[in-house]
Amino acid sequence: MAALAHDLRMACMRVSRRVRFETTTQLAPHQFSVLVRLSEQPRTAGDLAGQERVTAPSMSRTVGALVERGFVQRAADARDGRVVVLSLTTLGEQVIAQERAQRDAWMAVRLEGLSEDDRAVLRRATALLEEVVAR
């Protein structure tokens, strides 16, 4: 079990690293992760820090950089004006779409060289990995 855990973890890390470096958006991985979280729904910096498992000051710097680049906007919460809610701008949505398209295209090229049987194995492995992550 230990060998499988190690090999699987390493393979996932290698794939993740390669996909991240095959893009041209000039976004750091942690910045892209925050944009994706905000694409799901607007959130506070505290919510993002908890989800990304970073400190509040670290998330504040990340959000500041994303606001400065025009990808994220701040607004007062409608129910509590003391709370700042973060959401994507149109430019932020475009960056996510571009980044996802590039990453998916990179992966699609690699999958094209596999047999249909191998692609079926990867479909099943994808479902299993989603189960593993959900635990």
**pLDDT tens-digit readout, 20-30:** 777 767 788 89
pTM of the predicted model as reported, rounded to 2 decimal places: 0.79
Q: pLDDT at position 85, please?
A: 96
Q: Determine contact, residues 130/43, Cβ cutoff 8 Å.
A: no
How far is it, in rounded angstroms, from Cα 82 to Cα 20? 36
Of 47, 52, 6, the closest CA to residue 29 belongs to 52
How far is it, in rounded angstroms, from Cα 97 to Cα 25? 11
- Strand 84-88 to 72-76 pairing: antiparallel
Summarize pLDDT for 36-53 with one digit per residue, the tens.
999 999 999 999 999 999
Q: pLDDT at position 17, please?
A: 85
- CATH 1.10.10.10 assigned to 2-134: yes
User: Which residues in the chain land under pLDDT 50?
Assistant: none
How far is it, in rounded angstroms, from Cα 76 to Cα 86? 9
Q: pLDDT at position 133, please?
A: 86
What are residue 76's DSSP bridge partners? Answer: 84
Domain borders along the chain are 2-134
